[in-house]
Structure 1
Amino acid sequence: MTDRFIQKPVILDDDHSTGRLKVSLLMTLLNDHPYQKEVAATFNTDEIAGQYIQVDHIDTLFKRIQYINQHFRRFSVNAQSKHITIRESKDPVEDLNNPHPLIFNFEEYAEVDEVKNNLDCYAIYDAKNTYFDTYDMAKYANRLYKSGLGKLAQYNLDYFKDLASDDRKYNRYRSYRLVANNDQLFLRGITSVDRYYEYGVDFTFVVTMLSLHRDMQRNEGNQYAITSAAASESKVEIIVTDKHLKDAGPFGKASSAIIVTTNDLGQGSLNFNKIIRVGGRLHGGVYLFNSNEEANNSKLIISHRTGPKKTLESLVELDTILNDTDDFIKDLLAIKTIKTPDELRARIEYKLTNPRSAFKDIKALRDIFKARIDNEIKAFAKLLDMCDKAEQLDIDYDLKDKLRYIISDIILSKK
C-alpha cells in the first residue's frame, strides 16, 4: 500500500516537456496563497505576466504542484488544549503506512476569525508526538498504544486535559496544521500561532522559477534544467542544474547546480544549497555537496520564523550561489592523486553495509558498490557510474539525501 503523503519522484521526460511556462500560468499556483501579493510585488509579475520562463521540465513540475494544490487543501486552525480529545480509530484508513492513526477531536477551535465546534482529523507525520511531548510522555504514550493499552494512555491524556481546564499553565493555545484529501481530514503538525511561517511547496516552486528567470534576464547566456524533483503536499526537492557542462577530466563533465528543498513541518522552511553535478548525461550524473568548510558559503537557509518580507529579500542571495564550477573542478581533479577509485568504492560500500547503517537492508543499493573496480585513472568514471545508479534508485528521499552526503564526504575528503 502506498502512503498518499510520501514524497514521490517526478518523472522528467524530455518527450513530454516543452521546457517553458508563462509567468501568468505559474502564478496561478499562488491564487489562494497568503503571500501571493508579496511574491507578485517582489518579482513584478504583473509586468512580466506574458513572458515565458525557459527551464527544462518546468512545465512537468508545474503539473505535479498543480495536482497537489487541487487534491490536498492545506489550512490551519487554532485551539486550546482543554478543547482537544484523542481517541483510537476503529476503522482502517486507506493509503497510510499506519492504517489506524489516532483521531484528534477539536471540541472548539478557531478557523480564521470564526469559532467552530466538533472537528475530527487523523494524526499523521509527527503530529501526535508533538502533542505528547507537551506533557513529556511521547515514548510512554506510544508504548501504551503499541501494547494495546490505549485506555491507559487515554486516562493520562484526559488527566492533562482536566488540568488544562483548571490551570492556564497546562492550557496551550496553538496552531494545528491540517490537510484535506479525499473527503478526509489529517493533522500534519502542531506549531505556535504567531511565530511560525509556512510557505509550502507551491511557494517554493514559484519563487525558485521566478528567481531563475530573473537570473537569466540579467546574465545573458545562462540556461537551466530541472534534473531531479520529488514532491508531496508538505515536502519538495528540486535540483536545478546549469546546462553549460565543463570538462572534469577522468570524472567526465561537471556543472553547477542548486538543490532546493522545503519541509513545511521540518527544520528549514526554505533551503537553497549549492551542489555540483558530475558525470553522466545532463539529466543524470552524481550530485556532490561542498565540503563542510565551504558549505556555509554555498547555502541559503530560511527558517520557519522568518517572515515573508525578509524571506523574499533573501532570495537575492541566490545570485551568489550559482557560481562558476572551475574551482570545484580543480579540487575534484586533485582527488585522483590522493585516492584510488576502488578505495573510494570500498569506503562507500562499508558506509552502506555496516550494522548501524540506515541502508543495510537495501540490497539493490549494496549490490551496486559490491564489485571491485580497477585502480586506473579511467576507473573514476566507473565509480561515478555506480553512484549514478544509486541516485536513480527509488528509495525514501530522506535516505537518498543521506546517501548523497555519504558519497560526497567520501569522494571529496582529502584525508
Structure 2
Amino acid sequence: MQIEMESLFKDLVVIDAASFVAGPGAATIFADFGARVIKVEAPAGDAYRLLHGRHRFDFNWALTSRHKETISVDLNTEAGRDILHQLIQTADIFVHNFRSDQIDRYDVAYERLRALNPRLIYGQLTGFGTKGPDADKRGYDTTAWWSSAGILDLMKKGQAAPNFPVGGVGDHASAMTLFAGIMMALYQREKTGLGDFVETSLVANGAWSNGMHLQGAIAGFDLSQILEEKGYRSPFAMIYETADHRFLILVSPNPDKEWPAIARALGHPEWLEDPRFVTLRAIMKLRDEVRQLFQDAIGALTMVEACQALDAEALSYSVIEKISEVVQSAQLIENEVIIETHSKDPDFQWTVANPIKLSSLTHRPVGDPPKLGEHTYAILKDLGLSEARIDELIASKVVRLSQAVDPAS
C-alpha cells in the first residue's frame, strides 16, 4: 500500500532562512516528504525571486519553494529577531547560509539557538567552509563548486579557457548532502534527545564530486596537466556529431572487448581485419586516426540511425539531449523524475521531482509556490501574537503581508 509523501515528515517543522539554492533545496526535500517548512524572507523578498529575469514566470522559485509557507520579516530589527527566535523554539530544523557577520547581526549562532531549543538541528551551508581565509567569502556554485574544487579545470580544451558553467548544478548536489547530514542528526537525536550542528559547503561538495581526479593528483596523476598537453584523445570516450547535427557521447569502459562491437555498429567490420588494428595497443597508437574514422562513420548517420546501430550492439552511449527534450522525456516521466503539478498556471504544469523515491510513498501533490509574505499573518497568529501586536509589526514594517492576503480571512 502506498501513502502520500506528506505523511513521512508531517511531525517536523523546518525553518528555512537560507537564500538562493542549496540551503533552500535541502528544505524543499523535507517539504516534499511532508514537513512543515516556513520560509523566512526579508520584506524585499529573497533575491532568488529575481533570478528568472524578465521571463513571465518565476520558474526557479516554483521549483525550490514548493510546499513551503513564507513569512516576510526584517531580521535587522530586534522585533524581527524575536519572531525568528520564537519560530526556532518550536522547530526541529533550522537551515541558513548566513556569513559570520550576519550570524552575529541576526543573533543566530548555534550556541545561542541551542540554548533556546536543545533539540534543534542546526544546518549551515557555506560557500567555502567556516574556517580559513575564505570563510566569509561570498560563494556560488559557479565559483565554489565548479571552480574552487577544480571541476572546471578539467572541462577546458587544451590551454583554452573553459566555458562558463551553468548555475544551480553544484547547488542541487550540495542540497542533497545537507539533507543527508540533517537526517543523520535527526537519527542521532532519536538516541540522545539532543540536536546538533550540521555543516557542509559548496567547495566540499565540489571536491567530493571531483574526488577521483583529486585523489589522482594526490597520487601524482594530474589529469589537468595531461589534458593541457594532450587533450581528450581516446576514441572510445568521446563526443561525436551525427549527420543531422546532433551529438552523442560514446563511453567504452573496456575497449579491448568492445572494439568488435563498435566496428560492427558503425558499419565497418573490415576494421577487424585491418593489420593496423590487430591489438588495442596498436589502435591507441593511431588514436587520432581511429577517432576520425569513428566520426566519419557516425557523421554519415542521423541521430536515430546512430542510436539504433549502437543499441543493436548494446554499447554504452547517450544522446546529448536538449533541455527542451529532457522535460518531455518519456523515460523521465515514466520514472517520475518529471512529474505533473496541480497548478493552473500554464507555465507550471510539470516540475522536477527530488531524486529520492521510497516504494511505500507517492509524490505529494505540487501546487503553486508561495507569494512574498503570503503566510506571515497566519504564522504570527500561530505563535500566539495578538491582532493588535501584528498590526503594530506591520505598521512598523517589521513584517510584510502579501497584498493578495486578507488578514481577516
Q: TM-score, normalised by structure 1?
A: 0.24
Normalising by structure 2, what TM-score? 0.25
Whose relative contact order is higher, 1 or 2, with alpha carbons under 8 Å and at least 6 apart? 2
